[in-house]
Amino acid sequence: MLRYSEWKKPTDAAYAFQLRPSGSGEAGGFTPEIPGLGVRRDIREVAREVLGEEEAERFERRVHRWSGPEDVVGDAGEKPYEGQQLTFEESAWSGTLTMRDIDAVLRGNIRVMRGRSGQADYLLRDHHMLDVALYHYRTTGELPRTLFHADRHSDWCKDSYLEARVPPQAATWWRLFEGLKRPGDRAPVLNEQDIFFTTAKAEPTSRMTGRDVGFSTVVPWFVDTSALHWPQVLAQPGVTQADWLSLDLDYFQPSPQLRLCGGLLRDPRFHGMMENARVRVFVLSPQFTNGGDKIDPWEIQGSIHSSLRLLNLLRQLPGKVRLDAP
């Protein structure tokens, strides 16, 4: 029988992935390098470079990536969005994104934009945060210290869930981050306590699509579920110093969600966070932007034009904020 002292959590065993050291002087390490504008990198190739062949292969076997929405587009019946989100593309820093930019992301191409200060914006279709961490580490050698995450869903799971299946990265990344290990001391890149989560869920209306399963927030035992609204979370020590931000657009969409959570966009503390964060991750989550927790069929919900307006507003913070409800 296994002793309790010998027991390992899944994130210290089957879901532990060791990062190689960054820096040319490190044995077995790699040299961080930012690709040129327009260069696309496959995350599976990047994973081999920062984890090594064996660890990267195990990562691919153990962690599942979502496929995209199955919308039929055009008379030919094509489904351009249903492929996996596998490529990162370096793009110019743009103050205003367009529908063409959004369409490329919906097709599975993560858009990476870097400001002069070194701040990096990532625009995703699906919430594959481990992939973002691997790519950012490969290109800059930087890893997060704390993360602020705003979402209508918690994206967290228990050990028993990990042990029973191959988990989808998009829905379990918060838990899986503990398994991504720093070089040297093998400490987690982020512990659960390093991720500050805020959520709020508007009451369903007749115009919302999707099946309401009755819950959307599953968090670790130490998180106070009665204090998850953004004013309570921003008051916690250390939150406003988070160096990574993760913002899921379904937190603000549809209109009832914006009325519930839109105050965050006006708060000067949040403006400071947006200005100072090293990494800002914006996730379209197109399957969930019109309410409901499980969408059947797996198609885009809500308005992509609304998502574009919201995205451009978020990226222009701090500044004059208008909250015309999408």
Q: DSSP string covering 45-99, please?
A: HHHHHHH-HHHHHHHHHH-B--B-----BTTTTB-TT-SB--EEEEE---SS--H
**With bands split at pLDDT 50, 70 and 90, how would you rate the model's confidence at 323?**
low
pLDDT score, position 81: 97
Cis amide leading into 168 (omega within 30): no
Q: Is the pLDDT of residue 114 over 90?
A: yes
Average of pLDDT values for 87-91?
98
This prediction has a pTM of 0.94
Instruction: Tell whether the model's pLDDT for residue 311 goes beyond 70.
Output: yes
Contact between 19 and 137 (Cβ < 8 Å): yes
Q: Is the pLDDT of residue 326 over 50?
A: no
* pLDDT tens, residue by residue, 194-238: 999 999 988 888 888 876 655 556 788 888 989 999 999 999 999
CB-CB contact of 266 with 321 (8 Å): yes
Please determine, for residue 21, whether its predicted confidence score (pLDDT) is greater than 70: yes
Name the pairing type of β-strands 279-283 and 195-198: unpaired
Cβ neighbours of residue 220 under 8 Å, at least 6 residues apart?
156, 192
* C-alpha 222 chain-centroid distance: 22
Range list of β-strands (E), 185-305:
195-198, 244-248, 279-283
Tell me how far apart the alpha carbons of residues 288 and 286 are, in angstroms, rounded to a whole number. 5
Partners of 18 in beta bridges:
181
Burial zone of 276 (CB within 10 Å; 0-12 exposed, 13-18 middle, 19+ buried)? middle
Q: What region does 214 belong to: left with phi over 0, alpha with psi -120 to 50, or beta?
A: left
Q: What are phi and psi of 135, to 5 degrees?
A: -70, -45
Count of positions (residues) in the chain: 326
Residue 240: count of CB within 10 angstroms of its CB: 16
- The secondary structure of residue 5, as a DSSP letter, is G
pLDDT at 291: 84
